Amino acid sequence: MALQPAFRERLEDMENTRNQRNSLLQDEKELQRSKSLLLSAKHAKIRLLEQRCLVLDKKFASDNFKISSLKSEIEFSDRQFQTCAQQLRDLKVEVEELEQLEEEREKIYAVKCSEMNAFKDEIQNYAEEIGRKVRELRCGREKLKSCYSGHQERNSETRNHDIQAAKARNSELLALKQNIASSLESNKRVRATLQVQVQSLW
């Protein structure tokens, strides 16, 4: 009979121990469950961060593509600017050369005009001089005719001599007239040549 209390106490101790173990197992299960939930939450957060990283990577790739496109456009614009700048410099050089040519042409035109005016004055003076000589020759011829008429009654030898002198004078007048006509024709050709040269300047 003395063994029953001891056995009962032993059973109670075993029950308490089992209850404690069950409680510990339950606590461990709760702890594992909490750890599993926490781990799941962390995995979800990691997946969310990974998705955000993917979005950011796509955005970075898109931004890099836009930057590359803008760089290409900027380089193309720079090349166009350099081309336009070079064309502008070339045009400035051409304009300066044309301005120099225009100045030279104006100078040449002024010189040609001056030469033409001087030539006109020379022609005018020459024509006046020729006219004066022609008038003098005509007066001389009239005098010769008058002298020839006044001396018709002289002897034949003197008359023949006067006739020969008059013929010689007449020949001189004809030669002078031909020289004058030739000079005038030459002057006309020179004048026409100068006019062509002046017109070619424009």
Global model pTM greater than 0.75: no
Tally of helices (H runs) and strands (E runs) in the chain: 2, 0
List, for residues 87-127, the tens digit of each pLDDT value: 988 888 988 888 888 888 888 878 877 877 887 788 788 77
By the 8 A CB rule, do 158 and 151 touch?
yes
pLDDT at 2: 47
pLDDT at 1: 45
pLDDT at 129: 79
Largest CA distance in the chain: 223
Q: Rounded CA gap, 103 and 127, in Å?
A: 35
Q: What percent of the chain has pLDDT over 90?
A: 0
- Rg of the chain over CA atoms, in angstroms? 66
List, for residues 49-92, the tens digit of each pLDDT value: 888 889 888 888 888 888 888 888 888 988 988 988 899 888 88
pLDDT at 201: 54
Strands (E), 20-179: none
